[in-house]
C-alpha cells in the first residue's frame, strides 16, 4: 500500500516535470530560453519515472534493477552535449558576438575566434578553402 503510493507519487512528479518542460518549449520566446526546458524534462522528469520503475521492480520481484541507473547515467552524459551543440549552432547562425559578455582574456569566444596555437595555420587554411566573395 505504502509502496504503491510512493510509486504513484514518483510517476506523477516525473509526469508533472515532463509536462512543465514541454509547456516551457511552447511558452518561452527565444531559442536560448527554450533550450532550458528540455534539460528539466530529462533530469527530474525522466529521473522520477525511472526511480518509480526501480521501486516497482524491487517491490514485485524483490530484485534490484540497475537498468534504470544506466539509462539515467547515459542521459546525464549525453543531454548536455546535445544542448551544447544546439546552442552553438543557434549562436553561430543568429547571435551577434557584440551582444555577448567579454571573455576576460585576449581571445574571443570559441565560435567566433580561433584558438591561440592554431591561429596561423587555421587562418591560412581558411584563406585557401574559404568562400572567395
Partner 1 sequence: MLLRRLLPHPLLSVFLAIFWLQLVNKITPGNILLGSFLAIVIPIMTSTYWPDRPLLKRPLKAFAYTGIVLWDILVANIQVALIVLFKPNREIRSKWISVPLELKEPEAITVLAATITLTPGTVSAMLSADGSALLVHCLHSDDPEAVCADIKSRYERRLKEIFG
Q: How far is CA 99 from CA 38, 52, 123, in A?
A: 25, 44, 24
17 binds partner 1 (CB under 8 A): yes
Nearer to partner 1, 120 or 133 (CB): 120
30 binds partner 1 (CB under 8 A): yes
> Among residues 33, 60, 94, 126, which is the contact residue for partner 1, using CB under 8 A?
33
Helix locations, 45-108, DSSP H: 46-61, 67-94
> Among residues 110, 121, 123, 124, which is the contact residue for partner 1, using CB under 8 A?
110
Distance CA 93, CA 113 (A): 15
Cα dihedral 62, 67, 68, 71, rounded to 10, equals 180
- Supply φ then ψ for residue 118, to 5 degrees: -95, 0
> Among residues 10, 14, 35, 49, which is the contact residue for partner 1, using CB under 8 A?
35
Site for partner 1 in 61-80 (CB under 8 A): 65-67, 69-70, 76-77, 79-80
Distance CA 76, CA 104 (A): 30
Sites of contact with partner 1 (CB under 8 A): 16-17, 20, 23-24, 27-30, 32-33, 35-37, 39-40, 43-44, 47, 65-67, 69-70, 76-77, 79-81, 83-84, 87-88, 91, 99-111, 113-116
Amino acid at each position: 500500500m505504502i509502496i504503491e503510493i510512493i510509486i504513484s507519487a514518483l510517476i506523477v512528479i516525473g509526469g508533472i516535470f515532463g509536462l512543465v518542460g514541454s509547456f516551457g518549449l511552447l511558452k518561452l520566446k527565444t531559442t536560448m530560453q527554450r533550450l532550458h526546458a528540455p534539460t528539466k524534462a530529462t533530469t527530474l522528469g525522466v529521473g522520477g519515472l525511472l526511480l518509480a520503475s526501480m521501486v516497482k521492480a524491487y517491490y514485485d520481484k524483490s530484485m534490484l534493477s540497475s537498468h534504470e541507473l544506466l539509462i539515467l547515467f547515459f542521459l546525464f552524459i549525453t543531454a548536455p552535449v546535445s544542448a551544447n551543440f544546439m546552442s552553438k549552432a543557434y549562436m553561430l547562425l543568429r547571435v551577434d558576438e557584440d551582444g555577448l559578455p567579454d571573455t576576460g582574456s585576449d581571445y574571443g569566444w570559441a565560435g567566433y575566434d580561433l584558438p591561440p596555437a592554431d591561429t596561423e595555420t587555421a587562418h591560412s587554411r581558411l584563406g585557401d578553402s574559404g568562400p572567395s566573395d
